[in-house]
Structure 1
Amino acid sequence: MSSQDLTQVGAGLTIIAVSIAIYFLPALLASQRKHPHFAGILALNLLLGWTFVGWAVALVWVYVKPSTGRGTKPCPRCAERVKDAALVCRHCGYEFKDLPPSRAEPSLN
């Protein structure tokens, strides 16, 4: 093999490596950002990334903030989310000591 052939092979391998990196860019970014839906993004990227639409949706999904669970609070025992008005965690049975404002007894001031 001549040096020109080796240069062409090296250039071809570089193009393939860069193409793979661009193809998996959404999954790589999701991993780097520790996205809670990394597995879903990877699956979408792997299965539908070959279509531009699938790749674009996966890339947008990386930057969409996960739901913070408005109207919910985390249980201090099991860390599952329950409604703000919950008095008992439906997952582990933890009883919340603080009453939500809507259920608190009115003050007699």
Structure 2
Amino acid sequence: MKGFGIFILIAGFCWMIFALNMDVSVSTGMGRVNNLGLMADRQVHTIVGGMIALAGIMMVIFGGKVSVSPASIPAQTDTRPCPLCAETIKNAAIKCRHCGADIEQATRSIPATGWTVRIPCRPGMEFDATQKIVSDEGLPCENPDGAVVVIGPYEKKNEAVEVLKLIRVNHSFFGELSYKG
């Protein structure tokens, strides 16, 4: 986005320079006089060029924040290729959604210790709904700790951070990181 903003900024400045160099006078029998219609065209082109340059400046300023989609990080670690068609499928899949082949579910080795994401919620329906959403996302759920849904554990902290971002962005769940030693 930042590179496109620089392009737009340069295009806007070039447009403004072109507009300011427009000849607005016309030849008459007694010399040259300014034409109001051409002056209005120059004014419009200058305003359009300025707006394009302003849009380019905004893209450069605010477009520099490139972020990776949080959903793509856990998907990379929670996926595998289908043994028949080689398309990417989830580890928990028992049927390929691309070719329809029946396949065995891959087992995830859960470390005994590591980083977990803990989502506090009220016992009952809220807890059940939260745990269902987390399991539908394909995230590993540990045994619940009272009224807390526990996701993980993960060997690396950044994996747990990405899961925390994923559930915050996709489902507006707020949780906390915890290390289970």
Whether the TM-score (by the shorter chain) exceeds 0.5 is no
Q: Scaled by the length of structure 2, what TM-score is found?
A: 0.22
**TM-score, length basis structure 1:** 0.32
Q: Which has the higher contact order (CA 8 A, sep 6+)?
A: 2
Larger strand share, 1 or 2 = 2
Tell which structure's C-alpha radius of gyration is larger.
Answer: 2
Higher share of residues assigned helix: 1
